């Protein structure tokens, strides 16, 4: 049995893929043979760069702008991906926001926006790709959670709630789709070297990590690829924390 999956002929949709973890996942899936739809909301130039890198690997790539917290936009996105590449066989729910707020600074609008982008989008995108996956009896869904789902985190309680919800959706979908050839898992990174960590209020936190450094987006992508390739793993959350926490 090969250690890595062969995704030749598979279509992967990666949300929030214009940079950081999403971009690394898009490239890793392309290296495994997948054609990739690079979703973004605003960063069109960065999304174009990711798509160009996928094409340089020899795989097809498209960019597609869509607000994945909006049901109409999600439906249009999946229709567009299907028309231009084919129906998605692999879905990576990576899009998210991290509005750093304290308890007294957190507004209802902040809370609603965080839940919509981080949690509701996972529901909308998953619902949109399920008909094809069910028809073919094969599908892989990986949701990007966070160590904040089970710990205090540094962003705020709204972020904690959104990521805990992602893990709840992961288990719920996995239990209901397991007999249809569709696996659903989550990856929960903590303190990865991305703009959110390096340019935000968490930038000085490397000393907290027993391993002594931040994680990389490529290390997250490696775990995503492992989950796609292993048909016996479903409903699980794999943590990447450099030794900060243990399940």
Q: Which active-site residues does the annotation give?
A: 159
Tokens 């971009």 identify what position? 23
Contacts of 107 (CB under 8 A, 6+ apart): 101
Tokens 């997948």 identify what position? 34
Name the nearest CA neighbour of 53 among 240, 218, 185.
Answer: 218
Tokens 């960019």 identify what position? 63
Q: Please, are residues 81 and 37 in contact by the beta-carbon 8 Å criterion?
A: yes
> What is the full DSSP assignment across 4-38?
S---TT-EEEETT-SSHHHHHHHHHHHHTT-EEEE
> What is the full DSSP assignment across 108-120?
HHHHHHHHIIIII
Q: Two tokens at 18?
A: 């214009």
Q: What is the DSSP letter of 178?
A: G
């Amino acid at each position: 049995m090969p250690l890595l999956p062969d995704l030749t002929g598979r279509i992967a949709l990666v949300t929030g893929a214009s940079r950081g973890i999403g971009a690394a996942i898009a490239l890793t899936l392309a290296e495994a043979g997948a054609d990739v739809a690079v979703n973004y909301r605003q960063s069109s130039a960065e999304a174009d760069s990711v798509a160009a890198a996928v094409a340089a690997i020899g795989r097809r790539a498209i960019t597609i702008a869509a607000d994945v917290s909006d049901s109409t936009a999600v439906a249009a996105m999946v229709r567009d991906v299907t028309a231009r590449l084919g129906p998605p066989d692999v879905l990576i729910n990576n899009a998210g926001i991290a509005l750093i707020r304290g308890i007294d600074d957190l507004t209802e609008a902040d809370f609603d926006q965080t839940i919509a982008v981080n949690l509701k989008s996972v529901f909308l995108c998953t619902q949109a790709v399920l008909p094809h996956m069910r028809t073919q009896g094969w599908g892989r869904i990986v949701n990007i959670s966070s160590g904040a789902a089970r710990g205090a985190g540094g962003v705020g309680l709204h972020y904690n709630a959104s990521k805990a919800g992602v893990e709840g959706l992961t288990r719920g979908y996995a239990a209901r789709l397991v007999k249809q050839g569709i696996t659903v898992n989550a990856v929960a990174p903590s303190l990865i070297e991305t703009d959110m960590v390096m340019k935000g209020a968490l930038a000085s936190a490397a000393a907290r990590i027993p391993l002594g450094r931040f994680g990389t987006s490529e290390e997250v992508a490696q775990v995503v690829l492992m989950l796609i390739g292993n048909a016996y793993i479903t409903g699980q959350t794999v943590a990447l924390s450099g030794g900060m926490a243990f399940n």
